[in-house]
Chains A and B, each alone.
Chain A
Amino acid sequence: MADAVFLALSVITIGSAIAALELRSLIYGSIALMGTLGGIAGLFLLLDSPFVAMFQIAVYVGSIAVLILFTVMLVKRELIFKKIEDKRRKFAGIGLMLVLMVGLGSVILDSGIKSITTDEPAVDFRDIGADFLTYYWPALILMALILAGSVTGALVLARREDVGNEQRAN
């Protein structure tokens, strides 16, 4: 059975995921998204993987959420507080969500996952480092190149063409 910490963390995670999508203001929505990402980091800690949890907090809560907050601030004020959604699709969307949850949930509950338990010790983070540097080294290098390329691409895309360099210097 699940313990109280797990229940609290999952309620925080799922509740703030709903809040992130449903709150009227985009700023509160992005703060609620931070709650979801932090809750997932807590669940990683419960799964004995502190390295991934630290990475999650540094990358998601630390940088992605702040990036989203700044993008929201660049948008016009009335757009931040306006709810843009298809009214007709709302009930269909809720129905789709429920069908997905019930369908996938019942399939998973019927499968043999329920009986899986483990008494073995958790994976050491040294093993992750060894993985990165031995078997996965081409993927690691590719990931670094993709990160560099995408950040450069983002900067080039967001650059304003109508502002000259001399104006930028001022």
Chain B
Amino acid sequence: MSNELIDFVLVSVALLGIGIYGLSVKRNAIRMLFAVEIIINAANLNMVAFGRFLPHSGGQTLALFSIAIAAAEVAVGLSLIIVAYRMYQNIDIADFRSLKG
């Protein structure tokens, strides 16, 4: 196999940087969720890459757990965004400062 571990890790670092940029600059709640997804995917890529090169099955197992938990997180996050949108008629997180009833 011609690809080395360092290539995958560098792609993962780039994705992490993009995700952190999105989290710090964007105020759109759905876009922030995109950024979180990108960061989680960078972590998964790292786990699978290290698991391939060690080689150990733990990397893939952990990545599968992480994918399942991310699915649960997205479901809850999106429904929270929908509830907040219904309350404020906006998806700008600057408007979500007072989240009471």
Contacts and interface: CB of A to CB of B under 8 A. Distances in A.
A30 B7 CA distance: 26
Contacts of A113: 5-6, 9
A-B complex: 3 closest residue pairs judged by Cβ atoms: A93-B25, A150-B72, A97-B21
B52 A122 contact: yes
Task: Report whether over half of chain B's contact residues are helix, strand or loop; otherwise say mixed.
Answer: helix
B38 A17 contact: yes
Given A60-B70, A60-B71, A120-B55, 11 more contacts: A2-B7, A14-B15, A26-B31, A48-B52, A59-B71, A64-B70, A84-B91, A118-B53, A122-B52, A127-B57, A139-B65
Interface of A: 1-3, 6, 10, 13-14, 17-18, 20-21, 26, 29-30, 33, 36-37, 40, 43-44, 46-49, 51-52, 55-56, 59-60, 63-64, 67-68, 71-72, 74-76, 79, 83-86, 89-90, 92-94, 96-98, 100-101, 104-105, 108-109, 113-114, 116-118, 120-124, 127-128, 131-132, 136, 139, 143, 146-147, 150-151, 153-155, 157-158, 160
A60 B89 contact: no
A71 B78 contact: yes
B99 interface: no
A146 B72 contact: yes
Interface of B: 1-11, 13-22, 24-28, 30-31, 33-35, 37-38, 41, 44-45, 48-49, 51-58, 60-61, 63-65, 67-76, 78-83, 85-86, 89-92
9 contacts: A6-B3, A21-B22, A36-B38, A43-B8, A74-B82, A85-B28, A96-B21, A108-B6, A123-B60
A49 B48 contact: yes
B69 to A, nearest CB: 7
Task: Report whether over half of chain A's contact residues are helix, strand or loop; otherwise say mixed.
Answer: helix
Given A26-B31, A51-B60, A147 B68 contact: yes
Nearest to A123: B57
B85 A97 contact: no
A3 B75 contact: no
A122 B87 CA distance: 51
Contacts of B20: 96-97, 100
Nearest to A9: B11
A123 B47 CA distance: 13
Nearest to A162: B86
B44 A40 contact: yes
Contacts of B16: 100, 104
B21 A49 contact: no
